[in-house]
Amino acid sequence: MSSRDLIVAEIPRLRRYARALTGDAARADDLVQDTLERALSRFSLWRPGNLRAWLFTIMHNIFVNQIKSAANIDYLADELLPDLPLRATQSDNLELRDLDRALSRLSAEQREVLLLVGLEDLSYEEAARIVGTPIGTVMSRLSRGRERLRALLSGVELAAAPQLKVIK
């Protein structure tokens, strides 16, 4: 299989992850295109192993750079809904909307790790390499993200972290 064929096989996963990261179809397509351009131009740097993790790492780095360079990028969950295929029942559609809105309320770091591990089925180690953090940080973000997501979906707001007192 050629390098082009290997990369083309990963495009559906890249598109799904980019769409979940950006919350916007057009920005997701741009992110996938930037990722593919960079991957193809630097394919000689790839060491045989997990191509998907390598591509997700490239995408993560591009996404982070875009966030840093932009003044303010909002995750607009409502823009996703009209483009999603309609579910068989109204309650399913409402649950999907609630999940999408709850995901949009997570921090970018928690949402990213939750999507990598939960949606893309990557290991903690692969997710840690992609986001460039230790495995323990990935596990912590995942745990806190899941807890926050559960709370948001159940309608229970988590208590704010207790304020530490300064003692002189």
User: For residue range 92-143, what is the model confidence (pLDDT) as tens digits?
Assistant: 677 778 888 888 888 888 989 998 988 888 899 999 998 899 999 999 999 9
Q: How confident is the model at residue 162 (pLDDT cuts 50, 70, 90)?
A: low
Spatial CA neighbour of 50 closest among 138, 133, 107, 123? 123
Residue 157 has pLDDT above 70, yes or no: no
Q: What is the pLDDT of residue 160?
A: 52
Residue with tokens 């799904």: 16
Residue 83 has pLDDT above 50, yes or no: yes
The DSSP-derived string for the chain is: --HHHHHHHTHHHHHHHHHHHHS-HHHHHHHHHHHHHHHHHTGGGPPSS-HHHHHHHHHHHHHHHHHHHSS-----GGGTGGGSPPPSSHHHHHHHHHHHHHHHHS-HHHHHHHIIIIIS---HHHHHHHHTS-HHHHHHHHHHHHHHHHHHHHTPPPPPPPPPPP--
Say what percent of the chain tops pLDDT 90: 15
Query: Helices 90-105 and 135-154, interaxial angle, to 10°?
Result: 130
Say what percent of the chain tops pLDDT 70: 78
Who contacts 151 (Cβ-Cβ below 8 Å, separation ≥6)?
157, 158
Q: How far apart are CA 168 and CA 165, in angstroms?
A: 10
CB 102 within 8 A of CB 127: no
Q: What is the pLDDT of residue 42?
A: 81
Q: What is the pLDDT of residue 94?
A: 72
Q: How confident is the model at residue 87 (pLDDT cuts 50, 70, 90)?
A: very low
Q: What is the CATH number of domain 1-73?
A: 1.10.1740.10
Q: How confident is the model at residue 74 (pLDDT cuts 50, 70, 90)?
A: low
> What is the mean predicted confidence (pLDDT) over 85-98?
65
CB 100 within 8 A of CB 77: yes
Round the average pLDDT of the chain to a whole number and report it. Answer: 79
User: CA of 140: how far to CAs of 10, 94, 145, in Å?
Assistant: 28, 29, 8
Domain locations along the chain: 1-73
Q: How far apart are CA 103 and CA 24, in angstroms?
A: 14
Q: What is the pLDDT of residue 39?
A: 85
pTM, whole model, 2 decimals?
Answer: 0.54
